[in-house]
Structure 1
Amino acid sequence: MMESPSDSLDALDELHAFLVHWVGERLGHAGEAEHLREQDCPSASSWTFPGSAAGRGPRGSRPFVALVGHYDTVWPLGTTRGWPFAVDGDRLSGPGSYDMKVGLVQMVWLVLALRHARLAHPAVRLVMNGDEEVGSLASRSFLEHQSRGAEAALVFEGAIGTAVKTARKGIGNFVVDVVGIEAHAGVEPEKGASAIHELGALIPRVLGIARPEAGTTVNIGVVKGGSRVNVTTAKVRLELEVRIRGAAEAARVEAEMNALEASDPRIRFEVRGSWQRPVFERTAAVGALYRRAERVAKTMDLPLTETAVGGASDGNLIAALGIPVLDGLGAPGEGAHARGESVSIEGMLERTALAALLVASFAAEGD
């Protein structure tokens, strides 16, 4: 299995080239194929395969279902030397197996399943990017462009048990620079205004922005600053992450962050931040898509539930466009971002069949 850490452009380029060849080899010529290639950024690609004759064609008002996945992982180069991919009974393990290389295999085999079963289906668009684990900063516009007009988007992140994900928290990253006045701590302490001392008062206020009852969490992950014990520190930096469930909380958090003021008038705060991932809310359209999947699962005697999670994915970006999204259609497994990461092979097959029948359901009259 090829390694593809988010921070190794050479490895990502190598895997992307393999994926382009592999998709073409398995699925043949796509009706449309688009590739994002920018200098010093991982590539992204989409392939659109037309619907069957009995299904919706490529000219309908909402003509396709998007299948979404990423090929980068959190694992550094060389991980497979000590932890190779392996199969033990029903379990396939290895770095990136659950998050989410198996999901890419499912996306391709879903299209093959539709063809081999001769199921009427709408057009299907596969979208793959290589920077999801680091926020999809380079591929976000590409993902949004490729998803617009979709009847639904199915994201093949790994599944949690029997559940699909119908809601995810949004993520905001903020930086606060505390700017004080440098001075000699022993000779002229009164001339200094310590950014570190002010930071001590600031941290509880920032943590107080959290609203656990509303699902809003705050994590201060990085503190930088200071030089010597005999110097009144002039600048320190605070870096934090905020996770939210709704737009109202996003507005409140922004307002409270921007309203922060130092207790010492000689010190100022420089606050900046943005929402890296918008909230993926369980809208009425998402609920309708889940109920459709539930009906399909019942025909398979396959248990299906739904869950909301604190982690984010590219599903957040697509859901923010107003497109119904079901996430977590990948294989059931465990251990994302941890050694021992693995998936169920039987579960992979079941989830692929479920997703294929879900796609086919959009070709039915009246849907």
Structure 2
Amino acid sequence: MKHYDVAIIGSGPSGASTAFHLAKNGISTVLIEKETLPRYKTCGGGFVYRGRKDLPFDISSVVEREFHTIDIYLGDKLHFKTEREDPTVTMIMRDSFDHLIVKKAKEFGVTLLEDHKLKKLHFSDDKITLETSQGELTAKFVIAADGALSPTAKMAGWKEDTRKLIPALEYEVEVPEEDFNRLKDEVRFDIDAIPYGYAWNFPKKNHLSVGVASARRTKINLKEYYNEYLKTIGITTILSESQHGFQIPVSPRTDGFVKNNVFLIGDAAGFADPITAEGISNAIYSGKLVADAIVEANLDSAKAEELYLEKLNEKLVPELETGLFLSKWFYEQKTLRNMVLKKYGQHFSEAMADVFHGKRSYPKDIKKSLANKIKSLVS
């Protein structure tokens, strides 16, 4: 039975980039993927610059489009635009993007097992046996990078109700050339196009990714709001469209990120941004943190767990907790939010662009800052 230092479940950006960093540092690593690569992956495909600059290799070969300007709309009355020298959002398709990272990881000796669905984990004192659809292997560490619903996390003992999962609906849409040319140069977010959430239009190379997401986990007719949003952006004719519904974890798990040498990263851990629901950049970042922890610990289990939690709590988890508060305020306190945005909307947009670029994080004193801004408006 083949043994590895680390087995990673899932070949998305978090799993593949983690494999890259581990193998580059001499850690024997296997990447276990239930499908055959490249494979389609449901995702809006908007990759923010803070994630792109964290990747140690060029991704230009899989870039669909780059956008230096972002537009945020709040109905017909408020419109904010930000511009940056570097691309704030890079559009990618996840099949080619994920496959590129996997190929980069394989260059450092990562073993890729495709069409291997993980069925069970068996724990012993010094190793974990992974039972897959095509046989068994063992590893000292297992990293769950298998997305929001993470079967690996369930097998390892995590509960399902320890994260906030929000609903989203995305369509890959082909439209007439006239409509595409009208929309192809603008990345836009429309706040309140759906109750307690937003809609987006992400132009790709020759089609649009159009979607809606609610910041509340509630029963809602997403398709109805998607159809309304098409009217908002002036689309009346659709040549083809493919629908993809999914859930986005926008809060960190409350029952930990490590159990019995199983480590959670990316969406499996609940690391998507609570305000924007963007998850690729934090998936890659958390993968780098867990790889660094294992390498620095020299494969010592207790030390790796300690280091990983320290690294998470240094920046990522506090930022997400602040983002959770800000998200709840932003999407649920509409009257106060709109008062603030009328005066400080451009400042807010610039701050969000800085977050997308990794130049700042959500302020730790956000409650005090908001209180002061509201006080100045009503006094």
Does TM, normalized by the shorter one, top 0.5?
no
Which structure would you say has the larger RCO, counting Cα contacts within 8 Å and 6 or more residues apart? 1
TM-score (norm. length: structure 1): 0.31
Structure of larger gyration radius:
1
